[in-house]
Chain A
Amino acid sequence: MSQAPSRIERRFRALHEQSRAALVTYVMAGDPDADTTLDLLHALVAGGADILELGVPFSDPVADGVAIQLAAGRALRSGMNLPGVLDLVRRFRERNGETPIVLMGYLNPIERMGYGAFAAAASAAGVDGVLTVDLPPEEGEGLLPALREARLAPIFLVAPTTTDRRMAWICEQAQGFVYYVSLKGVTGAASLDLEAVGERLAVVRALTSLPVGVGFGITGPEQAAAVAAVADAVVVGSALVKTIAGGNPGTLPEQITAQVSALRVAMDEAPRARGIAP
């Protein structure tokens, strides 16, 4: 069965041809409000983000560290909800038809909207993938078929604790890319062990032809560059969310563009410096 390649596939192919790793950025929808988030999404792209992860705020984010917990609180107080997130995506697509968007959140808000209704609305809004942090594939019999039906990529986490056998099974269910959690911890933790990441990444790569992204705990250009040398994608979230939390709304888009640009430049230089890229 051949279907037209998705935005995510097209983006990874293009980057692969250039021997570049993808920069995946995470911000929380509605932090501090919907209009600012919309500006920030464009600012992220302007800085060199290849794929946008958009956080869907949830009241009980068990996998998130303090920075993203606080962001979720701000977003909820601004009135953001799942329909609001989809509306944001729709507005983003008015000006950008190419940059893939992955929603990242927790199951209960999706469950409340209804799996089928959510998948159809997300697809219509221009969403490309969905990462539901508290939904391991074995609990996905309701949501996953609905996502596939709507041509949305189900994206899964694999962790340092995931066994090889389970990793193979998760990779079979995944589309778009596989998200390797770089550490035992919550988002934004600061104990990234690059050597260990490299070793586990080799195992993941042997199991799947999908691109492999690495995230959790990547804070600055140096780490992003080091991860870019071994991974297909580098995910940066909490570091950007902290900038948003402390930023002046007027200059925030410029600040974010500059922060992303620094990551992008470091990543693009790194593989050559290490002699990996052709």
Chain B
Amino acid sequence: MPMPRLEGAGSPLPDARGHFGPYGGRFVPETLVAALEALTEAYHEVGRDPEFRRRLDADLAHYVGRPSPLYLAERLTHEVGGARIYLKREDLNHTGAHKVNNTVGQILLAQRMGKRRIIAETGAGQHGVATATVAARLGLACVVYMGAEDVKRQAPNVYRMKLLGAEVRPVESGSRTLKDAMNEAMRDWVTHVDDTFYVIGSVAGPHPYPMMVRDFQCIIGRETREQMLAQEGRLPDALVACVGGGSNAMGLFHPFLDDPEVALYGVEAAGHGLASGQHSAPLSAGRPGVLHGSRTYLLDDADGQIQEAHSISAGLDYPGVGPEHSWLKDSGRAHYVYATDEEALAAFHRLTRTEGIIPALESAHALAYAERLAARMAPAQTLVVNLSGRGDKDIFTIAAREGIAL
């Protein structure tokens, strides 16, 4: 049987140097170049190795719990009025979000490369938990960098990581959120480059991460495609996913890039509104620049200093975005839109009450836009929302905001 390649391995982009048109690349200190080249080579090797693919598929099936269901949200559809809304239930994965699809893949690769120490950055804590989980399973040491601000906002996930045996290092520099956690993880990697594998959690960072994380997350879109064909007999009319760094969106979108009849909507976090300047929407309100190893849309000031992002959702609170999203924006293949904190909260409550599903605040941004979009579409049409994570981790944030003491 021919080797099933990792999804995306046949994709024309990125080019050999990791460029998606003018975006992407490898803007890193020289010390990391050799490590990135070794990683790229190891990744291409496992892409040709049927044994790696079998191991990955087995882990995704029996450890993560894939395939995740594609669920028709009938009451939500009825309440919104318009297109039938399907939810891709990534919240049902082990650890409660799509993040684990990628950490399973990267940590298998780390093990294969003989690395004994795993590091990661995390925003909401979902990627940190997913990394700590897989590291525990394989008996690897794990250090997770997390902005001090996020440590406060996401206490349950911090505790989870500790239970899993990871060391959580709060990052006090800069805005004390995800971007600063990523800076600190890169500094750690520069210092321990020989024995350490850096598991980046999004389709961001230097080549090969945007490509590799995309490929590991493409399982979302691949399943969605099969499930829609099985349930509806045709492809969906639209896909909607939230975009922080953009891994859940890229994983859903990528297997549909060559299907022009499927519209793609990436939803950024508009925080207090784009006009307020307090948001996390570089594709909607930023411009191209260089951050964390790649050229991409980002939020910066007139002097080129990176600005602090804002979102109620820690997982979207990032001033950059994966470079392939920048490319999909410029090429027009995907549309990038936004939802505010308030809109996301309203969508959070609506899904919880109509469907008995508590979504992550990140995913609630996608839901907020999907409701608007569905209402403009015909009942015969369908759209798929990536329900990228479950909201248990957010109940403290939401209760506090609503003046409820838990």
Interface residues of A (CB under 8 A from B): 58-65, 69, 73, 76, 81-83, 106-113, 133-136, 138-139, 156-163, 166, 170, 181, 184-186, 189
Q: Which of B34, B35, B180, B290 contacts A134 (CB 8 A)?
A: B290
Query: Cβ of B351 < 8 Å from any Cβ of A?
Result: no
Determine chain B's interface SS by DSSP, over half rule: mixed
User: In the complex the two chains form, what is the Cα distance from A63 to B31 in whole Å?
Assistant: 9
Nearest neighbor of A112 in chain B, beta-carbon distance: B304
Q: Does A136 lie within 8 Å of B30, measured CB to CB? A: yes
Knowing A62-B183, A62-B186, say if A109 contacts B303 (CB, 8 Å): yes
Q: Does A111 lie within 8 Å of B304, measured CB to CB? A: yes
Q: Which of B27, B32, B179, B192 contacts A107 (CB 8 A)?
A: B27
**Nearest CB of B to A110, in Å:** 7
Nearest neighbor of A82 in chain B, beta-carbon distance: B303
**Nearest CB of B to A237, in Å:** 14
User: In the complex the two chains form, what is the Cα distance from A111 to B23 in whole Å?
Assistant: 14
Q: Does B302 lie within 8 Å of A112, measured CB to CB? A: yes
Q: Does B302 lie within 8 Å of A161, measured CB to CB? A: no
* Set of chain B residues within 8 Å of A69, measured between Cβ atoms: 173
Knowing A59-B174, A138-B26, A163-B34, say if A82 contacts B304 (CB, 8 Å): yes
What would 5 A/B residue contacts be, using CB atoms closer than 8 Å?
A: A58-B304, A58-B305, A62-B186, A108-B306, A181-B29
**Nearest CB of B to A276, in Å:** 28
Q: Which of A112, A138, A161 contacts B300 (CB 8 A)?
A: A112
Nearest neighbor of B22 in chain A, beta-carbon distance: A142
Knowing A108-B291, A184-B194, A186-B190, say if A156 contacts B30 (CB, 8 Å): yes
User: In the complex the two chains form, what is the Cα distance from A159 to B29 in whole Å?
Assistant: 9
Q: Does A62 lie within 8 Å of B30, measured CB to CB? A: no
Q: Does B289 lie within 8 Å of A134, measured CB to CB? A: no
User: In the complex the two chains form, what is the Cα distance from A265 to B192 in whole Å?
Assistant: 34
Q: Does B33 lie within 8 Å of A136, measured CB to CB? A: yes
Q: Does A159 lie within 8 Å of B305, measured CB to CB? A: no
Q: Does A189 lie within 8 Å of B303, measured CB to CB? A: no
Query: Cβ of B193 < 8 Å from any Cβ of A?
Result: yes
**Nearest CB of B to A246, in Å:** 19
Q: Does A111 lie within 8 Å of B290, measured CB to CB? A: yes
User: In the complex the two chains form, what is the Cα distance from A218 to B336 in whole Å?
Assistant: 48
* Set of chain B residues within 8 Å of A189, measured between Cβ atoms: 191
**Nearest CB of A to B187, in Å:** 5
User: In the complex the two chains form, what is the Cα distance from A158 to B298 in whole Å?
Assistant: 28
Nearest neighbor of B38 in chain A, beta-carbon distance: A161
User: In the complex the two chains form, what is the Cα distance from A185 to B173 in whole Å?
Assistant: 18
Nearest neighbor of B306 in chain A, beta-carbon distance: A59
Q: Does B304 lie within 8 Å of A60, measured CB to CB? A: no
**Nearest CB of A to B71, in Å:** 40
Nearest neighbor of B29 in chain A, beta-carbon distance: A63
* Set of chain B residues within 8 Å of A111, measured between Cβ atoms: 289-290, 304
Knowing A58-B305, A82-B304, A109-B304, say if A181 contacts B26 (CB, 8 Å): no
Q: Does B33 lie within 8 Å of A134, measured CB to CB? A: no
Q: Does B29 lie within 8 Å of A166, measured CB to CB? A: no
Known contacts A159-B30, A181-B29, then 19 further A-B pairs from the complex at CB < 8 Å, ordered by chain A residue = A59-B174, A60-B174, A60-B180, A60-B291, A62-B187, A63-B187, A108-B300, A134-B290, A138-B26, A156-B30, A159-B33, A161-B30, A161-B33, A166-B34, A170-B30, A181-B30, A184-B191, A184-B193, A185-B191
* Set of chain B residues within 8 Å of A112, measured between Cβ atoms: 289, 300, 302-304
Query: Cβ of B292 < 8 Å from any Cβ of A?
Result: yes
Please indicate which of the listed interface residues A59, A110, A112, A189 has the most CB atoms of chain B within 10 Å of its own CB: A59
Query: Cβ of B152 < 8 Å from any Cβ of A?
Result: no
**Nearest CB of B to A32, in Å:** 18
Q: Does B31 lie within 8 Å of A159, measured CB to CB? A: yes
* Set of chain B residues within 8 Å of A162, measured between Cβ atoms: 30, 33-34
